[in-house]
Structure 1
Amino acid sequence: MRATITEHRPDVAVLHLKGELDADTAAELRVVFTGLLERPIPRIVVDLTELKFCDSIGLSTFIVSKEVIAARGGWLTFAAANPFLTRLMQTVGLSRYFAIFPEVDDAIAAGQL
């Protein structure tokens, strides 16, 4: 898995994930989230456009990160999930826990509300 961060607004970071998120790469994602959590109010959109696979360890990393982010008054949303990831999140019930938007810009705009 490869992770890159772009700033789309001064207060919103977009985390772009590429490849596969699994037990072997989840630690790398935790390190990235640790850096993003240093923001005063973390507002993060996870761009799933190029993430091809995610296992339960990857999903748990997202859940733990969201809990920490929410406790700090921020938010974590997803954008552009492929059909596999969309079905996975629906199957395990995460689509009720995370907002999933069709595009990154939609997720950023929703955060302005």
Structure 2
Amino acid sequence: MQATVTDHRSDIAVLHLRGELDADTAVQLHRTLAGLLERPVPRIVVDLTDLKFCDSVGLSAFITSKQVINARGGWLSFAGANPFLTQLMETVGLSRYFAVFPEVDDAIAAAQL
């Protein structure tokens, strides 16, 4: 898995994930999220457009980050999930705790409301 971060405006980071997120690659995601969580108010859009697979170990990184994000008044949302990832997030209940948008631009626009 590859993880890159781009900033939109000064207060929203877009985390682009590519490849497969699983037990072997979750450490990289944890490191990247740790850096983003150091921001005073973490506002993160996770771009899943190029993520082909994710298992429960990968999803747990987002779940464990939620507590820090909430404590700092921030948020984390998902965008661009393929049908497999959309179904996975619904099955494990992530869609109840995180906003899920069709496109990154939709998630950024919702943040501006």
Fold similarity call, TM over 0.5: yes
Structure 2 unaligned blocks of 5 or more: none
Identity in percent = 77
Runs of 4+ in 1 over 3 A off after TM superposition: none
Q: What are the superposed Cα offsets for residues 16-39 of structure 1, whole Å, 9 maximum, x if unpaired?
A: 000011111111101001111111
What is aligned with 2:17? 17
User: Equivalent residue of 2:49, what SS?
Assistant: strand
Show the 5 A alignment for 1:1-113. 1-113=1-113
Aligned length: 113
**Distance (Å, rounded) in 2 between the aligned partners of 1:22 and 1:52:** 11
Q: Give the TM-score taking structure 2 as reference length.
A: 0.97
**Distance (Å, rounded) in 1 between the aligned partners of 2:70 and 2:111:** 13
Displacement after TM superposition at 1:71 (Å): 1.1
Q: What are the superposed Cα offsets for residues 19-73 of structure 1, whole Å, 9 maximum, x if unpaired?
A: 0111111111010011111111110000000000000011111101122111111
**Distance (Å, rounded) in 1 between the aligned partners of 2:43 and 2:11:** 7
| Alignment RMSD (CA, Å) | 0.8
Structure 1 unaligned blocks of 5 or more: none
**Distance (Å, rounded) in 2 between the aligned partners of 1:9 and 1:79:** 17
